[in-house]
Amino acid sequence: MTRSVYVTGIDRGDGRQVVELGVMELLTRQVDRVGVFRPLVHDGPDRLFDLLRTRYRLSQDPATVYGMDYHEASALQAEKGTDELVSQLVDRFHKAARGYEVVLVLGTDFADTQLPDELALNARLANEFGASVIPVVGGRKQTAESVRAETRNAYRAYDGLGCEVLAMVVNRVVPADRAEIAERLTSRLPVPAYVLPDEPALAAPTVAQITQALGGTVLLGDDAGLARDALDFVFGGAMLPNFLNALTPGCLVVAPGDRSDLVVGSLAAHSAGTPPIAGVLLTLGERPGPEVLTLASRLAPGTPVISVDGGSFPTAGELFALEGKLNAATPRKAETALGLFERHVDTADLLARISVARSGRVTPMMFEHELLEQARADRRRVVLPEGTEERVLRAADVLLRRDVCDLTLLGDVDVIRKKAADLGIDLAATQLIDPATSELRQRFAERYAEMRAHKGATVELAYDVVADVNYFGTLMVQEGLADGMVSGSVHSTAATIRPAFEIIKTKPDAKIVSSVFFMCLADKVLVYGDCAVNPDPNAVQLADIAIQSAGTAAQFGVEPRMAMLSYSTGTSGAGADVDKVREATELVRSSRPDLLVEGPIQYDAAVEPSVAATKLPDSEVAGQASVLIFPDLNTGNNTYKAVQRSAGAVAVGPVLQGLRKPVNDLSRGALVQDIVNTVAITAIQAQGDPS
């Protein structure tokens, strides 16, 4: 029978979408095929399912997601009774559940449903579905004592109706009360109680949502600007000097459309980063002239300026009634929600209580989930030298919202802050350093000159060298001020790793620095080495690459079964290229007899069991290799790119190995998710660094 988890509540306004998203994240980390079922649905778009479908690449037919709408359910219950309603919903659930390892059930929302005793209906459905239950209690605007009482009562209600309650989740509590509530509930409930504080950024509507709700017209602004959260509203009526003092970070300025001075002043303040605003909303249907809009667009490119027809007072009433919603158009809210869930829920314990057996398949998404979880488990600091690059800033935003690691961004601090403000990114928790003006520059210059004295380096020369962001970042890692470094989105590979060769150098047991790619196929992860660094390694170097790659694979949960690749298998071929691979294989066996290795072997014999059964029937590696070592860079680089493009694999890397401390290079075409993955990998590598 398909395992299912039923997330429900006791009243409206509990913000349980955070919990539903968090549970979905846990399930997709564990298994490949996760289905979704919502027994009852309102008319109109289902924002949460659209988000789940987009984020987790669900192929489920939307028609199978829903039981019936509330009007149909209310009429059916009134005419034929609750038993008939439940019977039909159970039938539709089982049809939806076919083909899935686990199903996430989204309970009713207690909002204008016209259903009597909705809590009992959710409990009944959970029992009939054979689902475990996670009830969510909303704590907004409640005292700590009332939240504790309501949570205990909710547990008793669901438990008394026969439900298997996995855990209780209390959401939206006053942050100052969170620890006390959690401590008291832990001692009074037989199941875990996870308590999440209220997060203003989740309740804040985006500028796009405000524009849509108020029927506004976008005069200026791009998609990134419209995606900003409006954390506060500042209404303009005062003269400009007094008005500027009232601005707060992330606020939406609301002013009459004829106050061009407030428009220009607000955007000038945003451009200076004092403070960054969400945008400007102009009332009364008045619009500034073209010369003012032109100036505004130059002051703060991308920052939204919106016009609405209503006056300030009715507009204020509508604004204060709006609340941000998780949906596919707000991916940054989703990252914030997941970060909140993962910080305050013992995800390992909850997953164990759900007791979903881990799938034998490892999908790209599962591998990426595991990277973030592993990095978060032992928090490290990673320095990003390309702090003014937009993709790096967007990746930093994701990493901070998900609480993956601590970050240091390098570059002109004013430029970083301005670009972050334009993108609506909060860097308050991020260390920003300008190498050119940093007090560390002299110290690093002296250290670099000392290390490179044999090459004739002087302190004066080193003072110029260490102003380079990659040298500065590498020295931060060397001096223990950061645990790892990631660069390369706008710098060449040589510019990224040359400082590491000069400063960090190789491990004592490593002969060379090499690299691997994690190739995430549809159902498994393979490790390819070396596809990025060494053009034509000799037999000794090739053996070293293999041993390093086995260690990297094991560190990231891939059991190393190594195939030393060649154009022939076993003893079927001869020649210098084959002999090099054969010698490297013997070197691996003699130095690391604990490792499973086969070579020389062709790619098809390494990964395809039917071919292996013919060519090497007695091999422990053939047909099931997980680490594939290429004989040279030409073969490795072309193969990984061919597999990436033709098989639709996700290539994560290159991941450098052999350095004393982790430094990793990005492709100059790296996407935001590539940067996120590489930073997570770097943080994990640092966890294994004994220094």
Domain positions in the chain: 3-199, 205-321, 361-503, 514-658
pLDDT digits (tens, 9 = 90+) for 182-215: 999 988 899 999 999 998 888 889 999 999 999 9
Asked if residue 461 has pLDDT above 60, the reply is yes
* Residues ≥6 apart with Cβ < 8 Å to 510: 544, 548, 657, 658, 659
Q: Where are the beta strands (DSSP E) in 556-680?
A: 561-565, 596-601, 627-629, 650-657, 663-665
Report the pLDDT value the prediction gives residue 240, as an integer from 0 to 100: 82
Please state the three-class secondary structure of 2-66 as a single string. Answer: CEEEEEEECCCCCCCHHHHHHHHHHHHHHCCCEEEEEEEECCCCCHHHHHHHHHCCCCCCHHHCE
Tell me, which fold does domain 205-321 have in CATH? Answer: 3.40.1390
Task: Output the pLDDT for position 166.
Answer: 92
Mean pLDDT of 670-690: 88
Write down the pLDDT at residue 203. 85
Q: What is the mean pLDDT of residues 140-160?
A: 91
- Fold identical between 3-199 and 205-321? no
CA 644 to each of CA 518, 521, 557: distance values in angstroms, whole numbers, following the listed order: 11, 9, 21
- pLDDT the model gives residue 136: 93
Comparing 10 with 304, the larger pLDDT belongs to 304
d(Cα 164, Cα 585) in Å, to the nearest integer? 54
- The CA-atom distances, in angstroms, between 90 and each of 3, 74, 77, 84 are 14, 16, 14, 10
pTM of the model: 0.81
Cα dist from 551 to 363, 365, 501, 532, 629, whole Å: 21, 23, 20, 18, 13
pLDDT at 332 over 70: yes
Q: With a cut of 60, say whether residue 1 has pLDDT above it.
A: no
pLDDT band at 2 (very low <50, low <70, confident <90, very high): low
Whole-number pLDDT of residue 285 = 87
The two tokens of residue 678 are 């590489």
The pLDDT score that the predictor gives to residue 367 is 83
Identify the CATH number of the domain defined by range 361-503. 3.40.50.10950
Q: Which residues of 319-355 are buried (b: 16+ CB within 10 A; e: fewer)?
A: beebebbbbbbbbbbbbbbbbbbbebbebeebbebbe
pLDDT, residue 357, reads 59
Round to whole Å and give the CA distance between 199 and 209.
Answer: 18
Instruction: Determine the average pLDDT of the residues in 21-39.
Output: 90
Contacts of 571 (CB under 8 A, 6+ apart): none
Q: What is the pLDDT of residues 562-621, one digit of tens each?
A: 999 998 887 766 778 888 999 999 999 999 999 999 889 989 999 999 998 888 888 889
* 473-481 average pLDDT score: 95
pLDDT at residue 361, rounded to an integer: 64
Tell me the per-residue pLDDT of 540-554, one tens digit each, with 9 for 90 and over. 999 999 999 999 999
| CATH class as words, domain 3-199 | alpha beta
Topology of the domain comprising 514-658? Rossmann fold (3.40.50)
Gyration radius of the chain's alpha carbons = 29
Q: What is the structure's pLDDT at 429? A: 85
* pLDDT tens string 491-537: 988 889 899 999 998 888 888 899 999 998 877 889 998 988 889 99
